[in-house]
Structure 1
């Protein structure tokens, strides 16, 4: 039973509820949709707040503690606010053997943050990831759904510069 009584109808949008119910219909069991439900809500809101977690748990008719266990295990569910771009830098042994340390230092220096931090402009959050499945193309990072492989300090910072430039362009288009 949830410690916090929060009706999903008061917190989740109709679109979120419908998308989650669609996942439940595909999977056949309400609780099996936990990860997908959190991913859907996170896509709309950027992260899973406590209220989001309790509302999803209510909708899926499962204990919030069980959903929290799933959220903390699955490293692509964010339980605190993150930047517009979340950088997952792979720190597997393959990446360590092929230049992870130099790429990591270049990214941290360029952004002015360390792991688990977000830039002051809210643009980037830097996280490590145990494996991105790119061992033969290491070092690697993932930003959003995009994978970048065979990284060097220069190529990694060029990718971040490009994202900054695209963001600046988007900002100009919004103002016009």
Structure 2
């Protein structure tokens, strides 16, 4: 996007003043903001100045700053940041802002700019011979899903073809721009599919909260059925030391397969059965399997 500066001195008026109607509107707008926050009205007040004169002059910026008690530079920062504010004289009937950001560019915005060059002027911001039309390239205008699009005044015209934009420009040139319906220029509602919706086409069913529905009875469990243990969180391993057969049962008998070295049964857990009976002796541990000797 090009650098935005104020118009040259030859275009700047000597002063600026709101009309009586707009002055009353400005007072009502400022009163909408709480005490100490009146400067938040700077954007709508600045836009009102543009609506009155057709563009924002240096004198208009200074007037808005004086009304709101702001430094001139603060209002200038806002006016130069937003492309909706025109800083030099533009077409009196239409100033066409063509979005040139990626989505619109991929959808053919360059062809829209070619239309503007042929019907208005080769250069941006330059007005046609009658002074009624001008155009510029701007950054994203927020209607990417309906690309390519342009903005004229405060309205957007979307889903454009070069032919349709040419018709729109001719209509504004004839002073009949209000007859054009803004928004998508194809058969769709806002951003819905062209031709109408393609899903949720059945009969409407009123929404019912889940808690309003009676709970469904649980299915009866089969007699004698057991729930298998879940192994979803157990890692899969084929290592010998993770073989479940190496674990001895609580009765002290080894469950190790034949040929497993150093297999020892686990001791019986007597802590859960209370104190041991008098005269009872613990079972002797099974002797460890001899360790094979290494060959000499």
Normalising by structure 2, what TM-score? 0.51
Aligned residues: 159
Contact preservation (8 Å) 1:113, 1:119? no
Contact 1:53–1:64, Cα closer than 8 Å, also in 2: yes
2:115 pairs with 84, 91, 106, which one? Answer: 106
Which of these residues, 28, 33, 44, is aligned with residue 22 of structure 1?
A: 28
Larger radius of gyration: 2
Q: Which residue of structure 1 lines up, in the alignment, with residue 66 of structure 2?
A: 58
Question: 2: distance between equivalents of 1:166 and 1:81?
Answer: 18
2-side partners of 1:127 and 1:135: how far apart? Answer: 18
Residues 69 and 107 from structure 1, CA distance in 2 versus in 1: closer, same or farther, beyond 3 angstroms? same
Matches within 5 A, 1:74-153: 74-84=82-92, 85-153=94-162
> How many angstroms does 1:16 deviate by?
2.6
RMSD (CA atoms): 1.8
CA distance in 2, matches of 1:94, 1:47: 28
**Contact between 2:133 and 2:173, CA under 8 Å: does it hold in 1?**
no
Q: Which has the higher contact order (CA 8 A, sep 6+)?
A: 1
Cα distance in 2 for partners of 1:79, 1:166 equals: 23
Alpha-carbon shift at residue 43 of structure 1 (Å): 0.8
Q: Quick check: 11-20 or 38-47, which moved more?
A: 11-20
CA separation in 2, counterparts of 1:37 and 1:132?
21
Whose helix fraction is larger, Structure 1's or Structure 2's? Answer: 1
User: Is 2:121–2:134's contact at 8 Å kept on the other side of the alignment?
Assistant: no
**Which 4+ stretches in 1 moved above 6 angstroms?**
none
User: How far did 1:22 drift?
Assistant: 1.4
Q: How far is the alpha carbon of 1:154 from its aligned partner?
A: 1.1
Contact 1:107 1:153 (8 Å CA) reproduced: no
- Encode CA deviations 1:111-163: one digit per residue, 9 max, x unaligned: 23322222221111201221122211111001122221111111111111122
Matches within 5 A, 1:27-42: 27-28=33-34, 29-42=37-50
Which residue is 1:156 aligned to? Answer: 165
Distance 1:101 1:93 in 2: 11
TM-score, structure 1 as length reference? 0.83
SS of the equivalent of 2:52 reads: helix
CA contact (8 A) 2:120 2:134 kept: no
